[in-house]
Structure 1
Amino acid sequence: MTQALEELTGKLLQAARSAGADAADAMVTRGTSLSIDVRKGVLEQAERAEGVDLGLRVFIGRRSAIVSASDQRDRTIAEMATRAVAMAREAPEDPYSGLADPDQLAGEVDIDALQLADPDEEPSPQALQEEALRAEAAALAVKGISQVDASSAGYGANEVHFAATNGFSGGYRRTSRGLSCVAITGTGTAMERDYDGDSRIFQSDLRSPEDIGSSAAERTLARSGARKPPTGQFPVLFDERVASSLIGHLLMAANGASIARGASWLRDALGEAVLPKGMTLLEDPHRPRVSGSRPFDAEGLATQARKIVDDGVLTGWTLDLANARKLGMTSTANAGRGVSSGPSPSTWNVTLTEGTASRADLIRDMGTGLLVTSMIGSTINPNTGDYSRGAAGLWVENGEITHAVNECTIAGNLRDMLRGLVAANDARPHLSRVVPSLLVPGMTLAGT
């Protein structure tokens, strides 16, 4: 029998009280996923998964424990609570753990305004297969493409409900639609590949299969004849596809858990310039039809817009309740969690201030350097911000793209890199991280 998620969280909390817990919170999720892969015009793989997962966190004073299961039976719920309470009694005390106070909890929220779920029916496997085949055909129709490594279409729907003994209870449903294509050109050691894809909440917002397939092909052909770049100091332009990774490093360094551990190169930078003047990094968890939007966090606090960086200056940390208490601050309502893990600080949607120049303008003005379109591996020192990554892309000579580049390493220090950024105006507004192409005026390239 299918049980309502709110009913299941209620049963979990009641079982926790009956087992002797002083306080508890519960999270239940119900998910469906469907993915289709095609290759050479035929179905290669089809997968469908459905499931319900239950998570229970209990408190005995300042001691806590978490258990999870995928069985909805009352007997299992009772056993979960008994085991969680027994575990909590043996756990070490944490003076910073605990639920939110009732006056901290989110009130009434307009979940419908966020448009987190497509009301249309789940697509059939045949419809997904047709989309994947169309993307593959579009890629293969471009002269120079030798094969398509993978063309995939997928759908997902997930419901979540969270409740706690402090009185909070809330939930919502989220859907996703995705389509991607990976094209290949050349053979043997001269083989190159690239991809394109799109992911949206609403099917009607998804780009067409033909657009995705042909774009994947064009990107692949641009990488033909790739060779190593020279070694030295050059400007590096991070293409919009990969530029958000730079902002991701800043967000990680401003994460309250890292700050509380003292393991962040930004630990002493509060109130200091970390981006160029005029550049703001805004978090907004209430953007409609965006994957990172949510009405409340995983501790029941109302999410809200905030400026992580304002006019270049770092204004605060990303905090959940426990890390806020450790630092003597207030939670920013950024707690994220799964059913089998406790809350930890997580960032929702972020938008970086765009520049006025186009990507083409920055390529023209950078002179000679590297346009990075993909990266592999990562060596980031969390304490110093020293940065080193494998990269591939396009070489720019005298303001013009001349040839493809691969097998190189780019290195620098994140403090210097971020403070010298020059932003283009090409960010995609539907993404959870709206970040344009970003130019770093000087980095070390290691090629030949």
Structure 2
Amino acid sequence: MSEHLEAAVDRLLSRAKALGAEGADAACVDRKSLSVSVRLGHLEAVESEESRSAGLRVLIGKKQAGASTSDFSLAALDSLAERVVAMAKAAAEDPWCGLPEPNELARDPVDLSLWDETEPDIASLEARALESEAAALAIPGITNSGGAGAEWGASQVFYGASNGFRGGYRGTSWGVGLSTLAEKDDHKERDWDSDSSRFVKDLRASDAIGRRAAERTLARMGATKLESCTAPVIFENRVASRLIGFFLGAISGAAIARGVSFLRDKLHQQVFAPGFTITDDPLEQGGWSSHPFDGEGLPVAARNLVTDGVLQTWLLNQSSARQLGLTSTGHASLNPGGSPGISSSNVRVLPGRLDVAGLQKEAGTGLRVVETLSPSFNPNTGDYSVGVSGLWFENGEIVRPVNEITVAGNMLDIYARLVAGNDYDGRSSLQCPSLLVPSMTIAGA
């Protein structure tokens, strides 16, 4: 852990205390990135970025305030502390603010295998991008490239508070991706593929990424409109996670406390279909959202959000837990210079028995969604509609690509009948297989 981050946190906390803060927490973040983009075999851009920020929150009675700076000089840190203490003294009261008690804090954080020691270089990133693009352009029918890229990123975080907590962690990321185009008889289609990982050795082969992008593009050629109907709809894994994203927002303690969630009365009730389980594991080795403690220094642990279709918990930080008369679930997210937010970690929809092809066969005839556009969602009622393009299948077999379609339904009804596949998209912290909704309203031509 970089010593300058820890030193900045200590400086902010000591100055805040000296200026009259009754409580305080501080977080410092250091980020670096290197990316390369190519198109049609030529290097287009190389970008290298470095940024860092130091944030301080001060509590005086039931008042709080916060701010941040990118200047780590002692004078700037001292000035930040003075400004935030003055802001806290003038702030309105917040009855729910406060730090955890010392006996509640996380102890002995574990190594979560988030850091790759491999040093990035421009040449190797360029080679990965070029290889993916060349593989795509070699596929008959692909007429152009939207560009390919490869990137590396690293971040380090250190958090401390006046209750005695000190802790930090760091992580790396690697990625390769591209988009491809096909054109025939004035009809154009575009699609993409990508991969990302904490460790460069775990990335899929670049040529395989390119070929997959090409295959997906060609599968969409000749798309036609679809007559309006009601039919089964399969959301492919790389768009299915958005359905679960609405669920995660709806069980946020902040939404529940404000009464603006369509799930506000559903705790410990059947929400999803029997057999449907969703887990959340902040301690997953190498996970995209893994962290050894939450944004308030509290311990974290794996838990089920949904078990056999039954909603098990809200996502709570200290503030929302106090409002609801509950205990924090360790889901506070770090917000340097502000009040802690709320976030899930590594969420996983447990797999069903069928892959996406098996879901098609089970559904018989219906729509397989490969892309969503401009979703409309009402968090109070759960009403949902979204523009989509995809593949129409009959008797379990794809027969033609389709576009300019809207699908709609209510999330309570969708969740109650949702069927999980077993094919995961591993690019994000929300691991979700393809999902089958046995029937949805489809608006077409």
**Aligned 8 A contact 1:428 1:434 in 2:** yes
1 CA distance for matches of 2:23 and 2:30? 24
Q: Could you list the per-position Cα deviations for residues 250-290 of structure 1 after superposition, in whole angstroms to 9, with x for gaps in the alignment?
A: 11111111101100000000111111112211111111111
* Corresponding pairs, count: 444
Aligned counterpart in structure 1 of residue 264 of structure 2, from 264, 267, 270: 267
Corresponding letter in the other structure for 2:22 = D
1:44, CA displacement in angstroms? 1.0
In the other structure, the counterpart of 1:118 is: 116
Which residue in the other structure is 1:235 paired with? Answer: 232
Aligned to 2:9: 9
Letter of the 2:92 partner, please give it: P
Aligned amino acid, residue 264 of structure 1: S
- C-alpha displacement at 1:125, in angstroms? 1.1
**Match of 2:424, SS?**
coil
The offset of 1:187, in angstroms, is 5.7
Q: Distance in 1 between matches of 2:51 and 2:398?
A: 49
The residue aligned with 2:254 is: 257
Separation in 2, partners of 1:23, 1:293: 27
Kindly provide the amino acid, as one letter, of the partner of residue 235 in structure 2: F
Are the aligned partners of 1:290 and 1:430 in contact in 2 as well (CA < 8 Å)? no
> What's the TM-score once normalised by structure 2's chain length?
0.98
- Partner of 2:177 in structure 1? 180
2:92 matches 1:95:
no
Instruction: Give yes or no for contact 1:392–1:405 (8 Å, CA) kept in 2.
Output: yes
Tell me which residue corresponds to 2:107: 107
Q: Is the 8 A contact 1:379 1:387 kept in 2?
A: yes
Contact 1:200 1:290 in 2 (8 A): no
**Counterpart contact for 1:29–1:54, Cα < 8 Å:** yes
SS in structure 2 opposite 1:437?
A: strand
Matched with 2:36 is: 36
Task: Choose the corresponding residue for 2:192, options 195, 219, 241.
Answer: 195
Find the counterpart in structure 1 of residue 408 from structure 2: 411
Structure 2: give runs of 5+ residues left out of the alignment. none
Does 2:314 correspond to 1:310? no
State the secondary structure of the residue aligned to 2:204.
coil
Q: Would the aligned equivalents of 1:396 and 1:402 in 2 still touch at CA under 8 Å? A: yes
The gaps in structure 1 that reach 5 residues or longer are: none
SS for the counterpart of 1:425 is: strand
User: How much has 1:240 moved relative to structure 2?
Assistant: 1.1
Q: What pairs up with 1:277-316 in 2 under 5 angstroms?
A: 277-316=274-313
The one-character-per-residue Cα deviations of 1:228-256 (angstroms, maximum 9, x if unpaired) are: 11112111001111111111111111111
Match of 1:208 among 205, 216, 229: 205
Contact kept in structure 1, 2:253 and 2:316, CA below 8 Å: yes
How far apart are 1:51 and its partner, in Å?
Answer: 1.9
Partner of 1:73: 73
- Between the aligned partners of 1:238 and 1:205, the Cα distance in structure 2 is 26
CA distance in 1, matches of 2:286, 2:361: 35
Percent identity at matched positions? 46
Q: CA RMSD in A?
A: 1.3
**1:386 aligned to 383, 406, 415, which one?**
383
State the alpha-carbon separation in 2 of the partners of residues 33 and 218 from structure 1. 30
Superposed displacement of residue 339, structure 1: 2.0
Query: When the two structures are superposed, what TM-score results if normalisation uses the length of structure 1?
Result: 0.97
| 1:182-208 C-alpha deviation (Å, 9 max, x unpaired) | 010016851101111011000000111
Distance 1:226 1:143 in 2: 18
Amino acid at match of 1:18: A
Which residue of structure 1 aligns with residue 85 of structure 2? 85
Q: Aligned partners of 1:309 and 1:386: how far apart in 2?
A: 21
Q: Distance in 2 between the 1:93 and 1:180 partners?
A: 48
Query: How far apart, in 2, do the equivalents of 1:189 and 1:52 lie?
Result: 48
Find the counterpart in structure 2 of residue 167 from structure 1: 164
